[in-house]
Amino acid sequence: MGPEEPWSGTGRPLGLLALIRHFGATVVALIYTRIELITTEFEEELQRGVIILVWTMLALFFGALSVLMVAVTLLVLFWDDHRVLVAALITGAFVAMTVVMAFFARERVKSKPRFLAASIEELKRDRAYLERKR
């Protein structure tokens, strides 16, 4: 018989106090494991969020710089002939890109996994298991 079973070394069941102590130790171990899981999941989510934020900021910075340089280049190329038309087309393109990117960002936020989903699922399984044991 292992230490996780409420039996004495002689093969006899332990008394009520020993059973309560064993149950308490099991509950504490279960809670400790779940807290560790939640902590690990939170740390992973935080780290993932920071990395995504850094890469997003870099991409936005260089993307904005590139778009600005393309816009300036087009305005310089067409300065003599159609500068107002080119400026209006560039502005329209910027507005269209903004709308499309906002749509994609909104969809991304909607489809993100629920925060602490694995921990919540594990706690649901624990509750279902304990309810079956009653």
pLDDT score of 111: 78
pLDDT score of 8: 52
pLDDT score of 27: 84
Two tokens, residue 60: 């936005």
pLDDT score of 58: 92
* Amino acid occupying residue 55: W
Report how far apart the first and last C-alpha atoms of the chain are (Å, whole number).
Answer: 24
pLDDT score of 1: 43
**pLDDT tens over the chain, length 134 residues:** 444 555 555 556 668 888 887 888 888 888 888 888 888 888 888 998 899 899 989 998 998 899 889 888 888 888 888 888 888 988 898 889 889 988 888 888 787 767 777 777 877 887 777 777 65
pLDDT score of 2: 44
**Which residues, including other chains, have CB under 8 Å from residue 19's CB and lie 6 or more apart?**
6, 13
pLDDT score of 133: 66
Please state the length of the chain. Answer: 134
pLDDT score of 28: 83
Task: Note the pTM of the prediction, 2 decimals.
Answer: 0.45
* Amino acid occupying residue 17: L
pLDDT score of 127: 76
